[in-house]
Amino acid sequence: GGIITQTPKFLIGQEGQKLTLKCQQNFNHDTMYWYRQDSGKGLRLIYYSITENDLQKGDLSEGYDASREKKSSFSLTVTSAQKNEMAVFLCASSIWQYEQYFGPGTRLTVL
Amino acid sequence: GEQVEQLPSILRVQEGSSASINCSYEDSASNYFPWYKQEPGENPKLIIDIRSNMERKQIQELIVLLDKKAKRFSLHITDTQPGDSAMYFCAASENNAGAKLTFGGGTRLTVRP
């Protein structure tokens, strides 16, 4: 079996700060995703990547950048953190239109 | 893009009874409909899925139904147990969208002993 690792687990930032979240997977999956989950709510797609060096915008891409450095890693940047922002960012990977495997999440708090 | 509506947002049932969650989608090109379960503090996990060439699929106590004409699909949990208490998310995907999933807003299911 494989595993998805997200770092950091907790991220505390200041308003206006640029923050980077990292995700690694060893499933050898082609497709990777970044989702945002607000407390008690659904998952909203920020960016996804079909293969290395590919980048596709999701429904919530404004205010974020992403980078697929290599097949196993996908990073997400919050370009300017918003005050009082709190959410969990979930990374996932899959083989095309099959099961998505999720990481444990990065919990963001902006002071 | 695709939009998925999920109802109800909160569902409370008695242990041993059935629970039903309904989802609707807009894009008739969507052809893959997974369901994910998320327990408190955990990440979402796939529990069952259905593709557009099927109308019904069952895995143990989980039944999914798909009505392509009405653009609706549903999850039915028979004989619910307290361990079924969790958040449930439906999703829809169109193959040509590069495996992009659009999730519903979620249903918080509580099974009372």
8 Å CB contact of A43 and B103? yes
The model's confidence at residue A1, banded by pLDDT at 50, 70 and 90, is confident
User: Per residue in A73-92, pLDDT tens?
Assistant: 999 999 999 987 889 999 99
What is the per-residue DSSP string for A12-35?
EE-TT--EEEEEEE-S--SEEEEE
Question: How far is the first Cα of chain B from the last one, in angstroms, to the nearest whole number?
Answer: 41
Q: List, run by run, the mean pLDDT of 10-residue segments along chain B (113 residues).
A: 93 98 94 94 93 94 97 97 97 74 95 95
Looking at residue A41, its pLDDT comes to 82
Is residue B59 within 8 A of residue B66, CB to CB? The reply is no
Interchain proximity A42–B105, CB inside 8 Å? yes
Task: With CB atoms and an 8 Å threshold, state whether B100 touches A40.
Answer: no
3-state helix, strand, coil in chain B (%, to 5): 5, 55, 40
Specify the range with the lowest mean pLDDT, choosing from A63-72, A93-102, B1-10, B45-54. Answer: A93-102
Q: Which is nearest to B106 in space by CA: B30, B26, B4?
A: B4
Who wins on pLDDT, B93 or A72?
A72
A59 touches B at CB < 8 Å = yes
